[in-house]
Structure 1
Amino acid sequence: MQAEPKNSLVGDEYEVEIGPVAHGGHCIARTDEGQVLFVRHALPGERVVARVTEGEEGARFLRADAVRIIDASKDRVEAPCPYAGPGRCGGCDWQHAKPGAQRRLKGEVIAEQLQRLAGLTPEEAGWDGTVMPAEGDKLPAGEVPQWRTRVQYAVDPDGNAGLRRHRSHEVEPIERCMIAAPGVTELGIEERDWSGMEAVEAIAATGSQDRMVILEPRPGARLPLVELDKPVSVMRVAEQDGGIHRVHGRAFVRERADGRTHRVGSGGFWQVHPMAADTLVKAVMQGLLPRKGDMALDLYCGVGLFAGALADRLGDQGAVLGIESGKRAVEDARHNLANFDRVRIEQGKVEAILPRTGISEVDLIVLDPPRAGAGKKTVEHLSSLGARKIAYVACDPAALARDIAYFRDGGYKVRTLRAFDLFPMTHHVECVAILEPVKKAG
């Protein structure tokens, strides 16, 4: 017997009081009947009219947009971007909030995740509760931060470049992304006809003039002739295997951080904010305080940002082992670290490679896992290595909190935690936690 279909509530409107911020760029509210709403484009303490965008009768929660503000928060501003707002571009979450308020909201999310998933207060995590801007990221009041050095544009059926709407495959055509770095804007992606393309990614490297465009054609489409005012490398995503192949120019860009140049291949990972890499290296090294001769691990090492920073500071008697799953990233890391005799990079998943190394003891560990975190099995292994200090770089506070709880089970506690606003206008936030072994009594 089939269950009767439930009635969709999409389009229904409720006047609600907005409660606390939640992880994901929305706030929590309840209808008079007690139904939970996750409301975007609102701020805590406001009274708004919320229109349901997803959900049906009997659902645990509904998703909604604030379509009318009845009582506004003092932290509310008019969104500087004409494409922000209900039903529009989904790239930003907090265009309607003052910069200081954005950081406070991110801090509240971190605190809630630490308490809920790790049972820690900010004080117990060695954190003062603040979210700091990137090193040197000072802007005059009212100016929009142009920080995004990599922008993934979607292309609509008419060939217009834009960004996807929130939780949708629909494309919002735009004339300019306000948070794109000047080097991306100068490529003029939004001004061109991209008929036949599914997506276009634009990259403007930090510390060099390298520019790259990655084209993803629709099935059977031919590549357009890319003529830009600036020298630019062009890559394409192959229909057959999804690999990225060179069309013109270099297959990499050169990124500058921590006094070194890093080769980053097309499709490789590099922090999007131009000051993020230096900010994170500084925070990690200040937390670890490496000593000459230390043995260190750099896990999920990418192109070798932290491995190089460690090698610089450990001297000729120190050693670094990096582990990275991406084949091209490993090639780039080995190239970037070729001048360090005592650095080794292994390719594979951390949970598979680490047990095979035979390493039973290390001094320092850096891990910068993907959004899902390192996970219980990997954390248990790391906890057994007796590291003096562990630096955990996290792009998701929920995953960080879960893994902190696993480290606690393995005999480690958070000594300090720092949070950085490396993704202004969005809900994303970066954390660096320094963990140390718990001293046994007696």
Structure 2
Amino acid sequence: MAKRDLRTTLNPGDRMEVTVDNVAHGGLFVARTEHGVVFVPDALPGERVAVELSRVAKSFAHAETLEVLEASADRVEHFWPEARVERSANSRAGGAEFGHIRLPVQRGLKTTVLRDAMQRFGGVETDVEVQPAPGDDERGGLAWRTRVRLQVSESGRQGPFAARTHTVVPVTSMPLATEGIQRDALLEERLVGASRVDYAELGDGTVDVIATEGDAPEGPTQTIVEYAGDRAFHLDRAGFWQVHREAPALLTAAVRRAIDTDLVDPKAANFDLYGGVGLFAATLGELLGPTTRVISVEGDEVATDHAAENLAEWVGAQAITAPVASFLAQTRRTATPNELRRLAAGTVVLDPPRSGAGKQVVESLTALGPRQLIYVACDPVALARDTGLLRERGYELTSLESFDLFPHTHHFESVAAFRRA
């Protein structure tokens, strides 16, 4: 029996009352109605809410929550006044979409999303649970962001976009930011002419402010220093660094745990793909010793230059600027039999963007046949889909850890290990 097309009965702007059934990926919740599935934000399973439809597709609709009619016992008052459901959707600050949910319940919902994704897309049943980062429970999940990006309106007011829009919501506070950023932020200033402003609390406790016109940061490029544990990393002041104050140390420790040292060969061709400034390449080097052969591959030239500096103590380390897919394809085409043997003995760490590694990268990587892969993932569905691709090509999941490095949002990080069967 063909499913009914929701567009024949529903239209954007329609209002209805729905009962929320479950959590979905992306910070949304599922309501099953007589018309079909409606995805709802700012809700909780079991709640009855009044919503207004914002988009109607053939098999599902999206809505904005207008009012909570029957609240869950797990609902709390949102910690950020600018993000509360009592505000209209267009004036509701984005970036803290789980802030109305008790912190342990947030992690339970993320655990549900991860387990469901791994089963549906990866074909793997797992009992993994999303774990808190050190100090977050004591802080109520606040004051963890060492990097905050705010948009700037035409009038110069600063704030995030409202969720699912490009409407700037001016704010007077940033509770998820570190205490240093909260202290030094220029929220009362009008930044007329800027398109966005980035605040960063650096490893030495100073706060950097980068105002941007268009796509280019103002002023000359500068090098800063950040830390993972006791190890220093040089990077561009506008470059990527892990956002949560505990993330660099926590993730490198998780990568170290995920590596099976019995399968490690320091003289093999070991890779750090999507390597940034060499955070995980350094982890490999520390684990495997001073003669470690490791190649960090990163598409950003400035980050690669810093990676070369950060990896200088390992005589066998290299930093290459290239798209990962192109690098792997070229390696497959040009590797000699001896190089292929070293590649097959290697350990690979990959930390792809939110979209995941994808089919092309997985095919090229598994064709080289490294002994083990350590996958750092910031999206559970992308990880699950790549898990399915890896399993089809002879790799099995051997360990999985997940960490709530983005409290009060739907995001979290996972570290998965795969071994060639």
Answer yes or no: same fold by TM over 0.5. Answer: yes
Aligned to 1:385: 368
Deviations 1:392-428 (A, max 9, x none): 0011111111111111121100011111100111111
Kept in 2, the 8 Å contact 1:258–1:309? The answer is: no
Matches within 5 A, 1:36-435: 36-52=37-53, 54-56=54-56, 59-86=58-85, 87=89, 88-122=92-126, 128-134=127-133, 136-140=134-138, 143-205=140-202, 207-217=203-213, 239=214, 242-244=215-217, 246-247=219-220, 251-290=222-261, 291=264, 293-295=266-268, 296-357=270-331, 358=335, 359-360=339-340, 361=343, 362-435=345-418
Partner SS, residue 190 of structure 1: coil
CA distance in 2, matches of 1:193, 1:274: 28
Identity of aligned residues (%): 37
Which residue identity lines up with residue 139 of structure 1 in the other structure?
Answer: D
Amino acid at match of 1:91: G
1:101, distance to aligned residue in structure 2 (A): 0.6
CA deviation map 1:40-84 (0-9, x unaligned): 1110111222222x124x643222233222222221111111011
Q: Label 1:266 to 1:316 Cα distance change in 2 as closer, same or farther (>3 A).
A: closer
Rounded to whole Å, the distance in 2 between the matches of 1:292 and 1:59 is 52
Q: Per-residue CA shift, 1:347-384, capped at 9, x if unaligned?
A: 10112112434242232110001111112222122223
Alpha-carbon distance in structure 2 between the residues aligned to 1:81 and 1:312: 41
Q: 1:116 to 1:48 in 2, by over 3 A?
A: same
CA contact (8 A) 1:151 1:201 kept: yes
Change (3 A) 1:301 1:8: same
Deviation at 1:294, TM superposition (A): 4.8
User: 1:211–1:253: 8 Å Cα contact kept in structure 2?
Assistant: no
Q: Distance in 1 between matches of 2:349 and 2:201?
A: 27
Q: Note the residue ranges of structure 2 that are not aligned, 5 or more in a row.
A: 1-6
User: Are the structure 2 counterparts of residues 42 and 363 from structure 1 closer, same or farther at C-alpha, using a change threshold of 3 Å?
Assistant: same
Higher alpha-carbon deviation: 312-321 or 34-43 = 312-321
Give the structure 1 partner of residue 3 of structure 2: none
Taking a change above 3 Å as real, the CA distance of residues 144 and 364 of structure 1, as seen in their structure-2 partners, is closer
What's the TM-score, normalizing by structure 1? 0.85
Distance 1:44 1:71 in 2: 11
Relative to 1, partners in 2 of residues 1:144 and 1:387: Cα closer, same or farther, differing over 3 Å? closer
Q: Which residue of structure 2 aligns with residue 224 of structure 1?
A: none
**Structure-1 separation of matches of 2:383 and 2:290:** 33
Q: Which residue of 1 aligns with 2:4?
A: none
Paired with 1:79 and 1:252, the residues of 2 have a C-alpha distance of: 37
Deviations 1:83-138 (A, max 9, x none): 1134100111101100111011111111121122122221xxxxx3310012x234
Partner of 1:38: helix, strand, or coil? strand
1:386, CA displacement in angstroms?
A: 3.4
* Deviation string, structure 1 residues 186-228 (Cα, Å, up to 9, x no partner): 22221212112111111112x32343222222xxxxxxxxxxx
Q: Which amino acid aligns with 2:76?
A: V
| Residues 258, 417 of structure 2: 8 Å contact kept | yes
Q: Is the 8 A contact 1:208 1:256 kept in 2?
A: no
Query: Relative to structure 2, which stretch is displaced further, 390-399 or 260-269?
Result: 260-269
Quick one: which amino acid aligns to residue 219 of structure 2?
R
Matched residue type, 2:212: E
Q: Counterparts of 1:210 and 1:254 in 2: how far apart (Å)?
A: 11
CA distance in 2, matches of 1:328, 1:183: 27
Preserved contact between residue 294 and residue 314 of structure 1 (Cα < 8 Å): no
* Matched AA of 1:133: P
Distance in 2 separating the partners of 1:132 and 1:417: 12
CA distance in structure 2 between the aligned counterparts of 1:119 and 1:6, rounded to whole angstroms:
35
Taking a change above 3 Å as real, the CA distance of residues 193 and 363 of structure 1, as seen in their structure-2 partners, is same
In structure 2, how many angstroms separate the alpha carbons of the residues matched to 1:35 and 1:7? 10
Secondary structure of the equivalent of 1:384?
helix
State the AA in 2 paired with 1:64: A
User: 2:103 touches 2:141 (CA, 8 Å); kept in 1?
Assistant: no
Relative to structure 1, is the Cα distance of residues 245 and 155 closer, same or farther in structure 2, using a 3 angstrom cutoff? Answer: closer
Deviation at 1:36, TM superposition (A): 1.8
Task: Say what the alpha-carbon RMSD is for the aligned residues.
Answer: 2.1
Which residue is 1:17 aligned to? 19
Q: Does structure 2 retain, via aligned residues, the 8 Å contact 1:292–1:313? A: no
Distance 2:218 2:64 in 1: 40
- Equivalent-residue separation in structure 2 for 1:293 and 1:318 (angstroms): 5
Equivalent position SS for 1:312: helix
Alignment partners' CA distance in 2, 1:37 and 1:7: 13
In 2, Cα distance between equivalents of 1:310 and 1:246 = 35
In the aligned structure 1, how far is the partner of 2:380 from the partner of 2:141? 25
Query: Take 1:178 and 1:347, find their aligned partners in 2: how far apart are those partners?
Result: 37
- Number of equivalenced pairs: 398
